[in-house]
């Protein structure tokens, strides 16, 4: 399953938890993760959770994710990271 969010004001893990009722295996996450003012230690915890708890295979974070989170997600997901800025075209898995 692919999860596409606008801005995750309620928290991305809460959104993933709700989506897991439909299908517990989420392959791809795209959109704003609302981490722009989140402390770096919480971003590190969240990135680890997206990779290891939620087992996401690919991420495409957007606008409100914030630079510190972009960098950490890029490092964690490597070639499975795509910056989803304005005008970015994505092939959905």
DSSP of 23-81, one letter per residue?
Answer: -S---EEEEE---TTS-HHHHHHHHHIIIIIS--SEEEE-GGG-HHHHHHHHHHHGGGB
Work out the pLDDT band at 93, boundaries 50, 70, 90: low
pLDDT the model gives residue 85: 78
- pLDDT-wise least confident of 6-20, 52-66, 79-93: 79-93
pLDDT the model gives residue 88: 81
- For 7, phi and psi rounded to 5 degrees? -140, 125
């Amino acid at each position: 399953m692919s999860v596409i969010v606008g801005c995750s004001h309620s928290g991305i893990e809460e959104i993933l938890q709700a989506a897991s009722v439909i299908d517990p295996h989420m392959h791809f996450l795209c959109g704003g993760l609302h981490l722009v003012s989140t402390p770096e230690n919480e971003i590190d915890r969240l990135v680890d959770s997206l990779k290891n708890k939620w087992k996401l295979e690919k991420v495409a974070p957007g606008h409100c994710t914030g630079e510190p989170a972009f960098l950490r997600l890029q490092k964690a997901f490597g070639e499975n990271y795509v910056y989803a800025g304005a005008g970015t075209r994505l092939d959905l898995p």
